[in-house]
């Protein structure tokens, strides 16, 4: 049967399926408006820029943000910091990770999830993924050693990992659990908010995230001593203590830390952004469901497995092709149709979200020639010796080499969704 003009791929001269401009994936950033301006100007008018020494007649925007964030997510304590990386480092230190310890992290996550482990003076152990494209609980259990102290579970690309099973494994082996919720703020699993399953949940407010102040982060915990230790590490000047110069109230309360304190300007922006989170999630979930419903019957194409559809933040749509050899052709054809899609993995294409490209880790590179934490006597005395290899997590290459990725901006229209679905169907008919 001859192909009609409308069916001809745009890459070969046919009409584009999607004729509207693609919207950048800055859900919170594109929603910035009068409320953010009002709160920032309030900070400036009050001349209250630093949380701990501001004019006493005014409340701290950062403190108000922490209270609102904890209440919204159902946690007892929230601590605002400068980034998710600083949240992760603070969390690792707070739970007692240090020299001689190993921390297991998935190999499909932004590099900062792994780098934070080295910053906490521990050794990263890289774990494989399953078809959720998040941590494989079976591989996690295989990679636990007597040196394992903690696990960083990442809710990657907006989707909850198998956090209940991972939490059970951590309890079984007496391991600390830290959740990296940088890409899944507002997501949930079986009705419980992500970031509240582990000892500490860590969030990002960097510009590409769901809600944003350009930079910023948050830690959540229910443990009062962990909260104290988080505060102590993030504020080396100990401004937060009831008696700044007092003696320790309990063993382990006081130690040297860093300065990861959030500014009042950032806190002001985030107050406004937090109020927009539910609306952004609702829009993205509607858009994703609309697109999926129109392409679900396509042969040769399988959606990424999502353990809890209701808890998915819907920031992205990822589907896997049966034939990895067709992935790049498929992605290129979609781009020609006006659909902002991409392949996820190529060995020769650098991407700091995939462990193959973490050269700092793969080479065990350190800022000084001593080679710590890999050569730390506390580690080697426990029999610690680690080798990183591109073959250590085969499912990452297997799954991601078959994956096509699309962002789901909250600001899309229903027409945008329909044209994206039309483009996917058009390309699938021609290529699969």
Give me the CATH code for the 34-276 domain, please. Answer: 3.40.640.10
The top-level CATH class assigned to 10-21+278-347+397-431 is: alpha beta
Q: Answer for the pair 27, 411: CB distance below 8 angstroms, yes or no.
A: yes
Number of Cβ atoms within 10 Å of the Cβ of 232:
21
Q: Judging by DSSP bridges, how do beta strands 316-321 and 301-303 pair with one another?
A: antiparallel
Contact assessment for residue 274 and residue 31, using Cβ atoms and an 8 Å cutoff: no
DSSP string, 250-284: STTS-----B-BPPHHHHHHHHHHHTTHHHHHHHH
Look at the block and give the residue holding tokens 């582990």: 198
**pLDDT on residue 347:** 67
The rounded distance, in Å, linking the Cα atoms of 104 and 188 is: 22
pLDDT for 2: 44
**Contact of 339 with 11, CB cutoff 8 Å:** no
Residue pair 414/9 in contact (Cβ under 8 Å)? The answer is: no
Locate 211 and state its tokens. 């809600």
Q: What is the predicted pLDDT for the residue at 244?
A: 84
Could you tell me if 96 and 373 are in contact, meaning their C-beta atoms sit under 8 angstroms apart? no
Predicted TM-score (pTM) of the model is 0.96
pLDDT in tens, 300-338: 999 999 999 999 999 999 999 999 999 999 999 999 999
Interval 78-134: pLDDT, tens: 999 999 999 999 999 999 999 999 999 999 999 999 999 999 999 999 999 999 999
State residue 1's pLDDT score: 42
Establish whether 143 is a catalytic residue. Answer: no
Where do the structural domains in the chain lie, given as residue ranges? 10-21+278-347+397-431, 34-276
pLDDT tens-place values along the chain, 432 residues long: 445 566 899 999 999 999 999 999 999 999 999 999 999 999 999 999 998 887 888 999 999 999 999 999 999 999 999 999 999 999 999 999 999 999 999 999 999 999 999 999 999 999 999 999 999 999 999 999 999 999 999 999 999 999 999 999 999 999 999 999 999 999 999 999 999 999 999 999 999 999 999 999 999 999 999 999 999 999 988 888 888 888 888 888 889 999 999 999 999 999 999 999 999 999 999 999 999 999 999 999 999 999 999 999 999 999 999 999 999 999 999 999 999 999 998 766 778 899 989 999 999 999 999 999 999 999 999 999 999 998 899 999 999 999 999 999 999 999 999 999 999 999 999 999
Candidates 61, 143, 209, 422; catalytic one: 209
Angstrom distance (rounded) from CA 135 to CA 109: 10
């Amino acid at each position: 049967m001859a192909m009609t003009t409308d069916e001809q791929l745009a890459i070969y001269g046919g009409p584009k399926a999607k004729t509207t401009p693609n919207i950048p994936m800055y859900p919170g950033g594109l929603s910035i408006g009068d409320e953010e301006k009002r709160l920032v100007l309030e900070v400036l008018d009050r001349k209250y820029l630093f949380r701990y020494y501001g004019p006493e007649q005014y409340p701290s925007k950062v403190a108000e943000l922490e209270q609102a964030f904890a209440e919204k997510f159902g946690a007892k304590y929230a601590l605002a910091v400068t980034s998710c990386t600083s949240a992760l480092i603070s969390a690792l230190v707070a739970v007692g990770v240090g020299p001689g310890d190993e921390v297991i992290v998935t190999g499909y996550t932004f590099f900062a999830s792994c780098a934070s482990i080295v910053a906490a003076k521990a050794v990263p152990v890289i774990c494989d993924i399953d078809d959720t494209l998040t941590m494989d609980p079976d591989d996690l259990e295989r990679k636990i050693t007597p040196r394992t102290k903690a696990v960083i579970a990442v809710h990657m690309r907006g989707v909850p990992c198998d956090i209940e099973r991972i939490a059970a494994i951590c309890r079984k082996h007496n391991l600390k659990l830290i959740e990296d919720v940088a890409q899944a703020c507002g997501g949930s699993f079986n009705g419980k908010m992500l970031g509240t399953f582990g000892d500490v949940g860590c969030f990002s407010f960097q510009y590409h995230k769901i809600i944003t102040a350009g930079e910023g982060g948050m830690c959540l915990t229910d443990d009062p001593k962990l909260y104290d230790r988080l505060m102590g590490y993030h504020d080396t000047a100990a401004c937060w203590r009831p008696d700044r110069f007092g003696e320790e109230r309990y063993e382990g309360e006081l130690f040297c830390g860093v300065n990861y304190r959030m500014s009042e300007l950032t806190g002001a922006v985030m107050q406004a952004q937090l109020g927009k989170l539910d609306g952004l999630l609702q829009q993205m979930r509607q858009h994703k469901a609309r697109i999926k419903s129109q392409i679900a019957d396509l042969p040769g194409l399988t959606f990424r497995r999502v353990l809890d559809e209701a808890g998915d933040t819907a920031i992205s749509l990822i589907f896997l092709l049966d034939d990895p050899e067709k992935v790049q052709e498929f992605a290129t054809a979609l781009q020609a149709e006006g659909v902002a899609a991409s392949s996820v993995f190529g060995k020769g294409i650098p991407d700091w979200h995939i462990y193959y490209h973490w050269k700092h880790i793969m080479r065990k590179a350190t800022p000084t020639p001593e080679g710590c934490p890999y050569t730390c006597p506390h580690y080697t005395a426990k029999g610690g010796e680690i080798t990183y290899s591109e073959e250590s997590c085969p499912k990452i290459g297997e799954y991601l080499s078959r994956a096509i990725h699309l962002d789901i901006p909250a600001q899309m229209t229903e027409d945008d969704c329909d044209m994206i679905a039309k483009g996917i169907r058009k390309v699938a008919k021609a290529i699969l």
